[in-house]
Structure 1
Amino acid sequence: MDVTNAENEKTLLQIVEAMAAGAPEDGYTLRQIFDHLDESAFGAGLFLLALPCCIPFLYGVPQVVSLPMMALAAQMALGHEQPWLPDALGNRRIDRKGLTAMAHGGRKWLGWIETFSKPRFTMITGPRSERLLGFVLCIFCASILVPLPMTNTVPGFAVALAAFGLINRDGFLVIIGAILGFVWVSSLLILGPTAVLAAIHFGKDWLTGLFGS
């Protein structure tokens, strides 16, 4: 699937919107979606995969993209020059309904980023910083896999902001994304076990009341 010159001039969100509009019913594989981007940069791939994670109450697609996100972030941390997905991840498919939800949700929640972002604090987006950021983003992506409600939205925003910062060499966005992600992961580590214990205690009391004399 070759990208036309007109497509190359579009923003990432506009490319996603056009891709969703022209997608077949069964959609595209992640590798085909990456081909549409015509990008070798990690930032573009991570931003695209983070889009569905940013949309509240969207289930299914975030679980499809979370492992590929971790794979890309890990490759960044290892200093790879170009993103690559193994067949097991690259062949994962997002149908047209999922792509449409990504396009609409991305425009609704992240449309502002296209006018806000500009090159600044560019030293933060350099090769050495990119490796450190890859390690950090890998942690954020891993938190999306936690089986608790709404665990994908905040880290999704964190990855999307940092990734778009890489694309536009906007160190400020990278910093905001990193701070947001660290706050979320810290909260998850502190409150997660408490929430699980509370759920277990509630379930025990409920079962006792249901079956008790």
Structure 2
Amino acid sequence: MTTPDKTSQMLAAMMAAQAPGSQTATVSIGDLMAALRNRAFGLSLILFGLPNLLPIPGLPILTGIVLVVLAVQIMAGRDSPWLPDRISRAPLSRERFFAVMNRTLPLLARIEAWTRPRLGFAAGPAARRAVGFAVLILAVLLIIVPVPWIGSMPQGLALCVLGLGLTERDGLLVIAGFALAALATSIGAGIGYTVVAGALAILF
């Protein structure tokens, strides 16, 4: 059997291996992380970034918590991701999560059609730590501004582009991911400010 070489194919194969027809209605975050095996952080960022491209209430906060833990490890220079037991055991609705992935993987496939290894300096160890910092900011925004789609889609797209850049060793895509992260941060901060200002206006 041929090993898939494209990121979208890897994720599709991983989802298929999770047996959607299983009798269990949920899949744990730990199960998904284990299925990534040695594909490490790049695929993890994509896996938890994609659900934020759709308006699913509750998912931005959950994925944000996972991404905070991953971001700290990327900045620390770890080679493979690790999650605390409590987060690893957190259940996700199998049907809903798989439906989200199936709807968003075609978008990922369209982006990866333009990828190739290039600008190695932007995908190397130093750049990875900068990616970790960007992911941390995006993850915190997902937690504190959990507005599905409007509030989470920019962060989700930036996370996917950064993750794809790391996975494909495409420095140009990593740079594009930083630009999207800056845009997403501005949007998230703007939404947060509007919400806080509106609440204060009502109270006072």
The interval holding the TM-score normalised by the smaller chain is: 0.7 to 0.9
With over 3 angstroms needed to count, the CA separation of the structure-2 counterparts of 1:98 and 1:6, relative to structure 1, is farther
Which one scores higher on RCO, CA 8 angstroms, separation ≥ 6? 2
- Alpha-carbon distance, 1:38 to partner: 2.1
Query: Mean alpha-carbon deviation: is it higher for 27-36 or for 137-146?
Result: 27-36
- Is the 2:45–2:162 Cα contact (8 Å) retained in structure 1? no
Please tell me whether residue 75 in structure 1 is matched to residue 73 in structure 2.
Answer: yes
**Alpha-carbon separation, structure 2, partners of 1:61 and 1:19:** 22
- Alpha-carbon distance, 1:188 to partner: 3.2
- Is the 1:16–1:103 Cα contact (8 Å) retained in structure 2? no
With over 3 angstroms needed to count, the CA separation of the structure-2 counterparts of 1:167 and 1:148, relative to structure 1, is closer
Unaligned runs of at least 5 residues, structure 2 = none
With over 3 angstroms needed to count, the CA separation of the structure-2 counterparts of 1:15 and 1:133, relative to structure 1, is same
**Structure 2 letter corresponding to 1:120:** R
**Structure 2 letter corresponding to 1:51:** L
Please tell me whether residue 168 in structure 1 is matched to residue 173 in structure 2.
Answer: no
The structure whose Rg is larger is 1
RMSD (Å), alpha carbons: 2.4
Report the counterpart of residue 180 of structure 2 in structure 1: 180
Report the counterpart of residue 59 of structure 1 in structure 2: 57
How many residues were matched structurally? Answer: 199
**Structure 2 letter corresponding to 1:29:** S
Report the counterpart of residue 211 of structure 1 in structure 2: none
Report the counterpart of residue 25 of structure 2 in structure 1: 26
- Alpha-carbon distance, 1:17 to partner: 4.4
Partner-residue secondary structure (3-state), 1:116 = coil
Unaligned runs of at least 5 residues, structure 1 = 206-213
**Structure 2 letter corresponding to 1:169:** R
| One of 130, 134, 140 as aligned partner of 2:132 | 134
Report the counterpart of residue 156 of structure 1 in structure 2: 156
- Alpha-carbon distance, 1:75 to partner: 0.4
**Alpha-carbon separation, structure 2, partners of 1:23 and 1:48:** 20
Please tell me whether residue 192 in structure 1 is matched to residue 192 in structure 2.
Answer: yes
